A = this chain, B = another copy of it.
Amino acid sequence: MRNEGLLIVLSGPSGSGKDTIISRVLDALGDEGFLSVSMTTRPRRGTEVDGVDYYFVTPEQFRENVENDLMLEYAQYGANFYGTPVGPVRHLLAQGKTVILNIEVQGGKNVRRLIPEAIEIFVAPPSLQELERRLIKRGTETRDAIDRRLLIAQAELQCAADYDYIVINDVLEDAVDDVLAIIRASRLKSELSISRIREVMNHVES
């Protein structure tokens, strides 16, 4: 019997460093790890490839996916919709892969409704002061925009308890190792690995 894969959901305030963590974790996972590809109604740009950067669809197609309960989560930014179609994720999970989903705080609830065995990780900055420092260091936003992000971050931190795990991103390498430990441990959960016991008893090589 083949083991099912793992769906790992990462969320956290802007500036928590979750994008960097995800990229390092994917490097470490190699062939085992996949970042889920989002679906969007915004037009394709330059060298973007359909199915790699995004699944590019019409607003009509996007709405059909939502109505047929085929989206793990979705949101509107400006005039465009973005979301995660469940089909490709389920396909990778059936192959035993680890799929990583980078979504907004609170998007996790619908993910769990559709895929109850999802492992949800909240990435937090070590302090709000440090978050502010990181946002200023980026140098891409006005003082007003940074203040708005800090307010949102405070609200998002209140949701941390809804997640399975909390990773504090103080030292990047430690946070990456934390996420890798969560993935390694999750693969050993008895629900997932009980088929190995049948192999032990029957001496079927895995």
A79 at the interface (CB under 8 A from B): no
Q: Is the CB of B201 within 8 A of A122?
A: no
Closest chain B residue, CB of each to CB of A197: B160
Q: Is the CB of A124 within 8 A of B197?
A: yes
Q: Is the CB of A124 within 8 A of B166?
A: no
Chain copies in the assembled complex: 2
Q: Chain A contact residues (Cβ within 8 angstroms of B): what range?
A: 35 or more
Q: Is the CB of A164 within 8 A of B189?
A: yes
Cβ distance A70 to chain B, nearest Cβ, rounded Å: 29
Q: Chain A at the B interface: mostly helix, strand, loop or mixed? A: helix
Q: Is the CB of A127 within 8 A of B200?
A: yes
Q: Which residues of B contact A161 (CB under 8 A)?
A: 190, 194, 197
Query: What are 29 contact pairs spanning A and B, CB under 8 A?
Result: A122-B190, A124-B197, A124-B200, A125-B200, A128-B200, A128-B201, A128-B203, A129-B203, A157-B200, A160-B190, A160-B194, A161-B194, A161-B197, A164-B189, A165-B188, A165-B190, A165-B193, A166-B193, A166-B194, A167-B188, A168-B193, A168-B200, A177-B184, A178-B185, A178-B188, A180-B181, A182-B185, A184-B185, A185-B185
